[in-house]
Amino acid sequence: MRAVLPLALVALQAASAWHLGALDRRAAVRAGALAIVPFARPLPSFAAQPDYAGAKAALKDLIDKDPEFGPTLLRLAWHSSGTYDKMTKTGGSGQGTIRFTEELKHGGNAGLDKAVARVEPIHAQFPSVSYADLYTLAGVTAIEAAGGPKVGWRAGRVDALSPDAVTPDGRLPDADKGRPRDTANHLRFEVFYRMGFDDREIVALSGAHALGFCHPDASGYSGPWTPTPTTLTNGYYNLLLNLPWTLKEWDGPMQFEDPSGKLMMLPSDIVLIQDNKFRSYVKMYAKDQALFFSDFAAAFQKLEELGCKNLKTVNLA
């Protein structure tokens, strides 16, 4: 005769199964009771709902304690998303692959291993939030913390389980291709058009350079673009247009400096005023910060959602 388990014991076994993984129902039928077997993922009925609001608050607290880390989080989100290719439909933020060593070794990601490491405790605190969602959420949180616009963000990215999903190196923008025309063509055809952006969106997204610094031990370049590197404004465009930028004499790669020697621009920044089509949008954003914020927010949400499927709006309050 098969033993009949008390209801309390059955409930205890079911609760334990949430931790171990899943219930082997066929074995349970054969044994006359619930059998517990290890499994990689918890049962949906017991799974904790991702606490996106809590994760955002933790990211905001990290930035509040170290405001200069905000632009680095923005760069992490940008680089995790900027690998998308619309022809092959590969890359993008959807699988959180920038956490893999193979992608962190890409030239454009120099120094981001430190950012990934600093975000890891937040993922440990909110493990049901995927890395892919966490990195993109960090980007929009950093923008808001810098006084920028509220950027739309949706959840539901599913992490890749292995680095097999890492795309080839070379999909992120280079700062210099030797000649202005080659640099402009690189930005257009090799990077942004490949993802589905137009010239206006290229210039809008470039406004993120209002934030942060270049570091010789990461990109090789040195210095901030603006005098307010933790505050997002349209000042980047005004500086491009109104200051005389000259080549910096130093042992590093080619970059430009203002008369004070305190600010810098990359060749890929200067090309925005050398190319007539780009320059028209630089002028437009220099005159109208509200327009810049609106276009930047739309372009950044698009960047973070390239190639993603089944995203959903969630409560971040």
- Residues acting as catalytic residues: 79, 225
- In Å, how far are 111, 138, 299 from 65, measured between CA atoms? 20, 15, 28
To 10 degrees, what angle do helices 276-287 and 199-206 make? 50
DSSP 191: I
Q: Are the C-beta atoms of 150 and 241 separated by less than 8 Å?
A: no
To 10 degrees, what angle do helices 131-145 and 52-65 make? 50
DSSP characters for 121-187? Answer: HHHHHSTTS-HHHHHHHHHHHHHHHTT-PPPP-EE-----SSGGGPPPTT-SPPS--SSHHHHHHII
Q: Are the C-beta atoms of 297 and 149 separated by less than 8 Å?
A: yes
